[in-house]
Structure 1
C-alpha cells in the first residue's frame, strides 16, 4: 500500500474536533461529526483509520504488536536462555485499554479488553446508514456497510480468540444505557454467529476493487475471513465438541478462500524469501495485501534489523521446530530416504529439508541466537552478508524499509485445505488429490531464488493422497492428512501470526510443556570443535552444554572439547512454570470486575481465573 501511511497521517489531521465555546458557532475549517459525512470520499478516508490497527505488517519504528519475529515469539517453536517465558499465573490488576494504538497480549496473540474499535465500527456503520439514498447509492451503501461490518467482525474475532465470551455490541451504545454498557459477557458462539452474519454480508457486498489494489476489497477481506472462520470452526470442534457450529464456520472459511483462489488474480510465482525482504511487493502475485514502507514519508520499521545476524534473537528457533520440517522427498526425516536426512546438524538440514528451511534460517551457528539457530527470514539476501560491518538504514536500527506481506495466498490455500480436511472428519466430502495440488503442492512448487539454487536446494516432492506419510511422531488423535497440513503451516509461518493460535485452537497447548515435548528445550545437533570452536574457551567452562541422543548432558570443562558434540543446550535453561488449560483464554482484570460492581452490575471472570 504505497499510499497507506500518507493516508493515515491525513486522516489524523481530519479527526473530529469538537467546536470551541465561542458563540457556539461550528468551525468552517475543521471537520467534525456534523459536517464530515457528506461524500463517499470522506467515507473512504474514515475507513483508512482502521488500517494501522488491523493491517499492521511489520508495525512502525520500534513497535512490536502483531509484528512477525518481534511480536509473535511465544509458542512451542521458540526457546530462550534461562527460565522459559511463561503464561500468567493470576488475573491482572487491569486489562482494559481504550488506546487506538495496536496493542497485543503476547501470550494470547491478541488484543486487550478494549471495545473502542467495536464502537468505532458501529459508529461507522451508523453514519453510513444515515447517508443511504441521499449521498450513497445502493452499490456504494452496500460496499461501505460491508467495510464497517468487516472491521467489526475482525475485532470480535480477535477478542473471542483471547477471552472467549465477550459482551456483544451491534450498535452504538449511549452513555445513558447503563444496562447495556455494563451487561455481562455473551456466549462466544452467539458472538461468532453475529460475526458470521457480518462476514456473509462482506463476501456478498464488498467491492472486488475500490480503485487501488491495496484498499480493502473483497479478496483481502475473504483472506482474513478464511483465517478467522478456520480458527473458530476448529475451536468449536476441539474445545466444545460442537460439530454443527464447527461445520458452519469451516464452510464459511472454505467459501471465503474459494473467492480468492478462483479469482485468477494470485499465484505462486515468487520465491519464499522475496515475500519478506523485498523493498516493493506491488508486483508480487502471491501477496494479496501488503504494507509499504517509505523512509521519505518517515514510515519505517525494525524487523529486518532483528534478522541481520547482529541483533540478538533472545527467543530463538528450537529443535522441535527444526525437526518438523519435511525432507525434500516429502517425508519426515525418520522415514526419508534422502542421504543424511537423519543428521540433525545445520548443514545437513539445509541440504535435505524443504526449501523454506534454508530460506528461513542462516546457514551457520550464530552466537546472537539463544539456540544458535538464527532466523534471517525477514530481510533480503544481501543484509545478512554485511555481518561484521556497518549496515545501511534499510538493514539496521528502526529505519528498515522492506515491505511486509499482510495477507498471502499461501495462508488462504492452507486455511482452505485444513477446513476441508476437518469437515471430512465430520461427514463432509473427502479431500481429493486435486485439493492437495491446489494448496500444499502449489506452495511446494514455488520457484527458488539464485542463492538457494547455488546451494543445491531442491523443491519438495508433492503430497500424494495415496501415500500420506505416517510420521512416527504424529499424535494418535490426529489423522495423518491433517497432521501433514498442520506441518505445512508450521513450515510456512515461522515467527508469523499463526503458531500459538494454531496450537490453541487444536487444543494442543501441552506442546508448550517441556516435560511432554523435551525438544523445545534444545537447539540443533552441533560439533563444537568443527562448527563453532570459538566457544571452546575458558569463559564457557561450566556453562556450555550439549545433550547426547540418550539424554546425557555433557558440560564443557576446558579439557573435553572432543566430547562437545550433541544437541545444543541453551545457557542456564529451565522449564517454564507449570500451567493448566485455563491459559487457553485470558482473564479479565480485577479493575474491570470492580468497575462493574461499582455500577451495580456483574462481570463474570474467565473460567479458571477466579
Structure 2
C-alpha cells in the first residue's frame, strides 16, 4: 500500500526525547486523536515497520539452503560480536505506545478507537516478536517513556515468558476488536492478527520444546495449543483459502508475481505501484551478477522436493547421478515455480540457469522475479510481496498438532494434503505418513524419529522457501548447525570439457572445465565455468561430480549455541549496565 507518513510524529530513541511534543504550527492533539480520520492517518505510520518493496523478497538472504557470493559476518568465526551487533532500537515502539495511550477521546466512538488500538497492538506484537526472536529476553514497555523515568530506561530485561504472553495478549485484542474483515491485501485485518498469532505461538512452543536448557519444556504445549487454536479459528471462520485458480503448475508462484495481492490466499502483502512510483527491485537482486548475492539454492534442499506420486525423490535408483534435466522431471510442481527448470521462458525464449553470471549451483530462484527481462535493471518491479498467507496458517496448524501428537488424518488431509494437491502431487494426500524418509532425517533432522513431524517440516521448507522463515525455523528447532554444515552443492556434472544442453531444448548452454587449464573454445552464448584451479575460485566439483560452492570458506555455528540469539549491542549495555549480555557473546 502507499505508506502514508504521519509528519507530526517525532521518531526518537528511548533515551533522547519524548513523543509528547508537537512541532509548532502543526495540528493539535484534538485534531489527531479526536477524529477517526486523524487516527487513521496516524495509524498508517505503523505500516512503515513492515518490510519494504526492496527488502520483503530477501528475508531468507541468510539461510542454510542458500549459497551466496559472500558470507554474512554472523557465520564467520570471530567476525560478529556485541560491538558490531545492531537492532536494539525502540523508536517504532515509542510511536505505537504513544498512540495507544493517547487514543482515548470520547468524541470518537469506542468501537472505532478499539479498532485502531487493535491495529496498534498488532504492530506492537510484530515489533516485539522481532525482538524476542533476535535477542530473547527484552524489556517490556507499554507506554511512552520520559527522559526522567530512569527506572524504565535503565531496567533489566523481562523474561521471554512475560514478552510472549504480552505479545499474544496484544494479538488477541487485535483479533477481538479490529472491525476490518477483508481488504485488498495491503492492510492489516483481524485475520492477519490471528494468522500472526499462530506464527508467534508456534515459534515459542517449539523453541521451548527443543531448547531444553531453558527449563521451559513443561510449558511448550501451552503455546503449541495456542498456535493450533488460532490457526483453526482462521481456517474455520476466516475468508481465506488456498489459491488454485492458475492450476497445479502456476497457482503458488502466481501469488508472488501478480501486481495485486491474490487475496484468496494472501492475508497481508507489500503492494507496489507503477502509477504511484512505488517500485521494487526483486528482479535486479535475483538476476544481477553484482547487485544481489547470486543466491543459489543447494542440492540437499532440492532433493527433499517430492516426486509427483508423493514418494521421496531420493528414492529414485539413480538420483545421485541424474542430469539437471532428468532430476526435474515428474517432480512436485513447486520445483518449477521455485527455480528455472526445463521449459522456463523469458521473453518467450527457453532460459536455463544462468551459469555465465549468476548461479553457482544450477538452482536459480524465480519465485519473486517477473519473467520479462525488462524488469532486471534497477528498481522496476511491480509485483506484490506476500508477508502472511493462508498456506502458512495451514502449516502452523499441522506442525502444532504434530508436535502435540494430535494431528489426525482429517487434519493432514486439510493441511499438508491440500498443499500437496495444489502442487500436483497425487499420493499420500489422505493418509498420515508411517515411514521415516532416511534422507530427510539424516540430512536435516537426525533427532526426529516421528514421520509425521518430519513430513510436516518437509512441507514447510518447500512451501515457504525464500519467504523469510528458514532461519527462525532452524533456531526454534535447534538445528542451527545446518547453517554451517549443509553442503552448498549443486547439479550433477556428467563430464568436463563437454558442452551441456541443460534443458534439452537443442541449444548448448554451458561447459565445465578444470580451472588453471586453457578455457575451451565454445559457441556464442555458451557459459564457461572453471572448477577449482585458482585461490580465488571457490567453485569446485565433489567426488561424486556435483558442483560445490565456497568449500574453501568455513561457515561457523558455535558449539555453545550462542547464535540462537544475537548479542545485545555493546553500546546499549554501556548506556544501561543492568542489561546482561546473551550467553557466549
Call closer, same or farther: CA 1:593–1:127 in 2, change over 3 Å: same
User: Is residue 243–residue 265 contact of structure 2 (8 Å, CA) maintained in 1?
Assistant: yes
2:415 paired residue number: 439
Give the TM-score of the pair, scaled to structure 2.
Answer: 0.82
1:121 has 2:96 as partner: yes
Select between 213-222 and 352-361 the one with higher mean Cα deviation. 213-222
2:65 paired residue number: 77
Deviation at 1:83, TM superposition (A): 6.6
1:188 paired residue number: 160
1:360 has 2:355 as partner: no
User: Is residue 422–residue 482 contact of structure 1 (8 Å, CA) maintained in 2?
Assistant: yes
1:22 paired residue number: none
1:44 paired residue number: 40
Call closer, same or farther: CA 1:546–1:460 in 2, change over 3 Å: farther
> Which of 430, 436, 439 does residue 470 from structure 1 map onto?
436
SS in 1 for 2:75: coil
1:403 paired residue number: 384
Call closer, same or farther: CA 1:194–1:545 in 2, change over 3 Å: closer
1:526 paired residue number: 493
- Structure 1, gaps ≥5 residues long: 18-25, 97-111, 425-429, 448-457, 550-565
User: Is residue 65–residue 488 contact of structure 2 (8 Å, CA) maintained in 1?
Assistant: no
User: Is residue 203–residue 218 contact of structure 1 (8 Å, CA) maintained in 2?
Assistant: yes
User: Is residue 340–residue 352 contact of structure 1 (8 Å, CA) maintained in 2?
Assistant: no
State how far apart, in whole Å, the 1-side matches of 2:240 and 2:182 are.
17
1:316 has 2:293 as partner: no
Residues 235-272 of structure 1: CA distance to partner in whole angstroms, max 9, x if unpaired? Answer: 11111352443222222222221232123522223411
Q: How many aligned residue pairs are there? A: 520
Deviation at 1:355, TM superposition (A): 0.9
User: Is residue 480–residue 557 contact of structure 2 (8 Å, CA) maintained in 1?
Assistant: no
User: How big is the alpha-carbon RMSD for the aligned residues of Structure 1 and Structure 2?
Assistant: 2.8
2:17 paired residue number: none
Call closer, same or farther: CA 1:466–1:257 in 2, change over 3 Å: closer
Residues 273-318 of structure 1: CA distance to partner in whole angstroms, max 9, x if unpaired? Answer: 111111222x441112222211221200101233457776533211
Deviation at 1:408, TM superposition (A): 1.0
Deviation at 1:200, TM superposition (A): 2.3
1:455 paired residue number: none
1:263 paired residue number: 237
1:137 paired residue number: 109
State how far apart, in whole Å, the 2-side matches of 1:206 and 1:83 are.
42
SS in 1 for 2:137: coil
Deviation at 1:400, TM superposition (A): 1.0
User: Is residue 521–residue 573 contact of structure 1 (8 Å, CA) maintained in 2?
Assistant: no
Q: Give matches, 1:425-574, under 5 Å.
A: 430-446=406-422, 458-473=424-439, 474=441, 475-478=445-448, 479-514=450-485, 517=486, 520-528=487-495, 529=498, 530=500, 531=502, 533-536=510-513, 538-539=518-519, 540=530, 542=533, 545-549=540-544, 566-570=545-549, 573-574=552-553
User: Is residue 313–residue 374 contact of structure 1 (8 Å, CA) maintained in 2?
Assistant: no
SS in 2 for 1:296: coil
Select between 462-471 and 290-299 the one with higher mean Cα deviation. 462-471
Deviation at 1:154, TM superposition (A): 1.4
2:258 paired residue number: 278
SS in 2 for 1:416: helix
Call closer, same or farther: CA 1:93–1:27 in 2, change over 3 Å: closer
Give the TM-score of the pair, scaled to structure 1.
Answer: 0.79
Residues 300-340 of structure 1: CA distance to partner in whole angstroms, max 9, x if unpaired? Answer: 0101233457776533211121112122222222335xx86
Call closer, same or farther: CA 1:395–1:509 in 2, change over 3 Å: same
